[in-house]
Chains A and B, each alone.
Chain A
Amino acid sequence: MVRGLLLLMMFVAEATLAANSLTVRVDRNAVVLGESLQLEITAQVAGATPPLETLSLDVLRANFEIQDLSRNLQTGMRDGRLTTTQILTVTLYPLRSGRLKIPKLNILQASSLELAIMVQDAGTSIPRVLLRAGIEPRSPHARETVLLYLDVYDNGSLVWAPIEVPTAPGLYLRALAQSRRNDSIDGATFNVLRYAWAATPLRDGEHTLQFPLLRAHKFGVRLRYAAPPLTFTAQAVPAYLPVHVSVGPAPELQVENLPLENVVNRPENWRLRVSGTGLSANGLAQMLAATLGAAPGIQFYPLDIEAEDATRATGLAQTFHVTLPFQALQHGELELPELALPYFDPQRERLASVVLAGQRITAISPWRQRVLWGGGVGIALLVLAWPARRLVVALRRYRQRARGLRRIQRAQNIHALKTALLEFDAVGTSTYKPPPTLRQWLRHARIPQRLDAELCASVFRLERGCYANHSGADDFSDLQRALLWSLK
């Protein structure tokens, strides 16, 4: 009885093992790093359940990148029993060169054989490719923006596709432009393609960055390369340091445009250019708002920050254009407040500030300007009017005296001479009324001291002549000349 049962169990087990099989094979046993190989996994089991659905391929990931998967399922009768055959074709890219193993795979008490793949650094048509990743500086601080690069060394015959921006927890990356250069390693010349990112570790501690597969092709052959992961440690910054304060070298703060002459109550733009690493528009806005003090007589509006397009930048520094709209509220010399950009200097591990000293501007009030201009013109006119009036008066008096002198010169007799002398304006007033007598005329006449005696003598001679019975022609002419000489 017992023997019978044992025989039955052995028969069932043998039948089951004979029905389940797992075979693994590769399309080639030797590849060049970058090339793909096809792994075909074939499983045959009794029953209708697809056998490879539960197969874990994670064991392959230690040495290979699984690029593609395709499944083929066949169900049929074999020896009167239902059997299912499933074929899984996997496209693999080796992660490194050397002898790589495809370990045993197990499924439903069936196991495959272990395979070995020889991966060479270079082949006849595929060049040697070296990948080197790193950061500069090697030991950054948390929130410090550093250069993360991945250098691809080849002989220049490969065409590389753009790489996706890698993602890692606790790390912020901004893509920089690619660059190329030539380099030599061990006497061999390489064409170096550099993928670069501005990397900002968001927190201190260890960070590990996995790069996505690098894709290249050569004459239609698709190649894939795996870059080694990059691990680095970020140093802590003081816990009291506000998040928006940049960590890195001192930013540059330049004035792009500052209208030095402004109109009162008219908005103007104060434009600044800020360049530095680890800056952001939000952070800049917070820092400037915190340090922008009040300026008497100036009203500021909310600032506007525009980042310069940095998609083609190769350096870490970013440039921001800050527009600070303001308006002067009063006329005169006004001083804009000084601006300060605090930053944490990772070299000295201290907080520092870049300060833009307050600048002076002049605010003019159009109304005040007009009033001042009008007043100035009025005063100037007044100033000019007085000498002009003096000049006109002097001119008028000169002409009046000239007329009087001509009248004296033209006098034909002593009475005409007397009349001409009385009408001669010796006072120089505009409302001159001829006095009735010569003595009164003489009393009012404004005559220089040195001529006073001569003029008096002439006037007395004229007076006497007027009342004399006769006077000679010579005497008249002499008197006329004497008067003209005295009055000129």
Chain B
Amino acid sequence: MTRLNDLAQLEWRNLWWLLLALQPLAFAALAKFKRVQLLNYADHSLRPWAINVATRPPRQCWALVLTYIAWLALACAAAGPRLPLTSNAPDSAVANTHDIDIMLVLDVSASMLATDISPQRLQRAKLEIADILRRLHGEHIGLIAFAGTAGLLAPLTHDYAAFAHYLALAEPGLFVLPGSNLAAALELAYQQLTPRAAKAGAVFLVTDGEADALTGARGVAVSQAVEKLKAQGVTLYILVAASRAGEPVTSAEARVTRISRPDDGALRQLAESTGGSVEFARDGDADGQALYEQGLLTLPGALPERSNVHAWLELYPYCLILALLLLVLPPEAGRWMQRAPSALLLPCIAMVWLGSCAAPAQAASFAEAYAAYRDKNYSLAQLLYHAQHGYDARLGEGAAAYRRQRYPEAVEQFTAALLNARDDSQRADALFNLGNSYFQVKNYSAAVDAYVGTLELRADDFNASANLAHASARLEKTSKPSAQSTGIPLPRSQQILGVTAEETSNKPPVDFDTTREHMDPVPVHDPAASDAARATATATPDAGTAGGYRPLDAERDYRAALKKLELVNDQPERLLKELIKLDAPRIATPMEKLPPW
């Protein structure tokens, strides 16, 4: 369902159709004009003899109102109200966009390591941010972390995955100088938001609200920074990741222990001066809802650029349903309305219910997915299996993808099934299907390995033996150098597991035993197809070829590079730390020594 906040971006397909709403008024004016003309036909005293006035009783006021509302709804439906659905990434789903800039300022000072809220202040802050990240509607979001100084970890971006990556790196170790320099962080946020002042902006501060950081000269500096944000029209929302009671924190350097407690009043004053609000981290979604749904989301967002609009959410059915309901109401309904005005809610509730019916279906069970597979609705089956977890789901999704001839997806899912398998029988099933999928993408080396693996786990598997012989023959044939195989290799993105996309798209007709995709709960078996496959496959496996693993050189190099990437630790924390050190002189430094928490 569309949220009321989204209606700020409402557009009309053709606004002139709204003139249709004037139709009842025009009829009323015409009727009145005719009546006046009629009444002028004769003198008042002669009218009863000259004019046969209609005896129809005058219509009820409520009926007139309902009729007018019906016409208004019809006019709205004709004008075509719609909401833009935008997407910034080509592969992401289209959605309503709330185009504002949010600079997230995260406190990573030593006091954030206190554990007065579960599991820890800093970790809780990150989890709360992760929750809010899931709610975002296309806002630009950036990340600033601060302790004794402040540093920009992620500039304003739509790339939430990159944001999440940098969020995970935000740790106290990034900063050499201890303390809570909130003023520097807000100043940095101001600098980041100022160049984009044309858009609405907000600062989302996640801190433990350490009282020491908000008193004295530091408090004055923070107030000045907030004043600058306010002058720029930036709203400040604060999530306090600490309990009201606080917890003792100890500074290892100063060897001092004190209670780290949030200054609720000062924080509230800061936020409310910009029109924002303060929430304490609470169990459940209430804090996130209060700050995002009732805070950030209410800020007016810029209209999305036309180039980003990929689809429209049409709203005319709602108006049309309302109009039809009101028009087919019996004449007595007007009197009912007069007696019980609350009955007006009835069509509204019906409209909302009808609208909610259009919402996507909830995750279905395995049985539904399997039923879709049995009905040969493989697209639906793949979608339904995708929502499930575990070995059976991956095997089912792979089988559905295989049936749709999406072999790279089948390879991916059968590999996942192989990793999720709990016993040798499951592994053998996954390997057999994986072999079939690799065969279809012409990665005969991997297919041979998969069939060999199947036979190691299930030696009497006739189908695996037949397919192994077939794949071995293909492998031997393709391993001979040919004119087509020489030359400059294609970029990696155009290859599928060592085989070019062109080769995959020109695949020959399936002449292979692909009939043993095991589904949950009943394995699928097609005897006719199996017999045909056996007829084309050689029954005796070529042990010499099958025994050795012979991956293509390019594939081996690619896998070696992937493994090296996985093993090499590039230590992004150190890089960020050095960057923050470089940026620190450009940000206001504290005038006095900060307390170490």
Contact = CB atoms under 8 A, between A and B. Distances in A.
Interface of A: 143, 170, 172, 174, 200, 202-205, 236-240, 242-245, 263-269, 280-283, 287, 290-294, 301-302, 304, 307, 325, 337, 340, 342, 349-351, 353, 355, 366
Contacts of A240: 415, 418, 431, 434-435, 438, 446, 449-450, 453
Interface stretch (B101-109, B123-131, B326-334, B579-587): B123-131
Contact of A238 (B284, B449, B457): B449
A245 B559 CA distance: 12
A238 B567 contact: no
A357 B119 CA distance: 24
Interface stretch (B12-20, B293-301, B550-558): B550-558
Contacts of B438: 240
A172 to B, nearest CB: 5
20 contacts: A172-B568, A239-B446, A239-B555, A240-B434, A240-B438, A240-B453, A244-B566, A266-B283, A267-B124, A269-B119, A269-B123, A290-B416, A292-B389, A293-B389, A325-B123, A350-B457, A351-B419, A353-B421, A353-B422, A355-B422
B143 to A, nearest CB: 16
Contact of A290 (B119, B420, B549, B561): B420
Contacts of B285: 265
B562 interface: yes
Given A203-B560, A239-B555, 13 more contacts: A172-B563, A204-B549, A236-B549, A240-B431, A240-B438, A242-B419, A280-B567, A282-B566, A301-B127, A304-B168, A325-B127, A350-B457, A351-B421
Contact of B418 (A264, A293, A301, A351): A351
B454 to A, nearest CB: 11
Contacts of B565: 282
Contacts of A267: 118-119, 123-124, 127
Nearest to B438: A240
Contacts of A337: 389
A203 B556 contact: yes
Interface in B186-205: none
Contacts of B456: 349-350
Indicate the member of B168, B388, B390, B551 with the most A CB atoms within 10 Å. B551
Contacts of B548: 236
A174 to B, nearest CB: 8
A5 B446 CA distance: 77
Nearest to A205: B556
Contacts of A353: 419, 421-422
Nearest to A299: B131
A204 B560 CA distance: 9
Nearest to B131: A301
A342 B419 contact: yes
Given A290-B419, A355-B422, A302 B564 contact: no
Interface in B456-477: 456-457
A245 B419 contact: yes
A265 B117 CA distance: 13
A370 to B, nearest CB: 14
Interface in B120-170: 123-124, 127, 130, 164, 168
Q: Is the interface of B mostly helix, strand, loop or mixed?
A: helix
Contacts of B549: 204, 236-239
Contacts of A244: 566
Contacts of A351: 418-419, 421, 427, 453
B164 A280 contact: no
A266 B566 contact: no
B207 interface: no
Contacts of A350: 453, 456-457
B458 to A, nearest CB: 12
A237 B559 CA distance: 11
Interface in B438-453: 438, 443, 445-446, 449-450, 452-453
Closest 9 CB pairs of A and B: A293-B389, A236-B549, A202-B560, A239-B446, A238-B449, A265-B284, A203-B560, A239-B551, A265-B283
A355 B168 CA distance: 27
B136 to A, nearest CB: 16
B419 A291 contact: yes
A152 B241 CA distance: 56
Contacts of B168: 302, 304
Contacts of B421: 351, 353
B119 A268 contact: yes
A23 B548 CA distance: 57
Contacts of B452: 238
Contacts of A172: 563-564, 567-568
A419 to B, nearest CB: 69
Contacts of A269: 119, 123
A324 B301 CA distance: 36
A237 B449 CA distance: 9
A351 B449 CA distance: 12
B529 to A, nearest CB: 24
Nearest to B549: A236
A171 B164 CA distance: 32
Contacts of A280: 566-567
Contacts of B119: 267-269, 325
Interface string B219-240: 0000000000000000000000
Contacts of A200: 563, 567
A221 B157 CA distance: 60
A302 B123 contact: no
Given A236-B548, A239-B551, A265-B283, A203 B419 contact: no
B363 to A, nearest CB: 9
A315 B415 CA distance: 31
A282 to B, nearest CB: 5
Contacts of A174: 567
Nearest to B284: A265
B13 to A, nearest CB: 40
A416 B46 CA distance: 105
Indicate the member of B388, B389, B550, B560 with the most A CB atoms within 10 Å. B560
A324 to B, nearest CB: 11
Contacts of B564: 172, 202
A200 B124 CA distance: 38
Interface in B235-268: none
B83 to A, nearest CB: 29
A203 B561 CA distance: 9
B283 A243 contact: no
B453 A170 contact: no
A426 B35 CA distance: 93
A302 B420 contact: no
A284 B427 CA distance: 20
Interface in B520-567: 548-551, 555-557, 559-567
A340 B118 CA distance: 27
B483 to A, nearest CB: 25
A291 B420 contact: yes
B147 to A, nearest CB: 20
B169 to A, nearest CB: 11
A248 B157 CA distance: 41
Contacts of B434: 240
B124 to A, nearest CB: 6
A240 B435 CA distance: 8
Interface in B354-377: none
Contacts of A366: 283
Given A170-B560, A203-B560, A350-B456, A239 B449 contact: yes
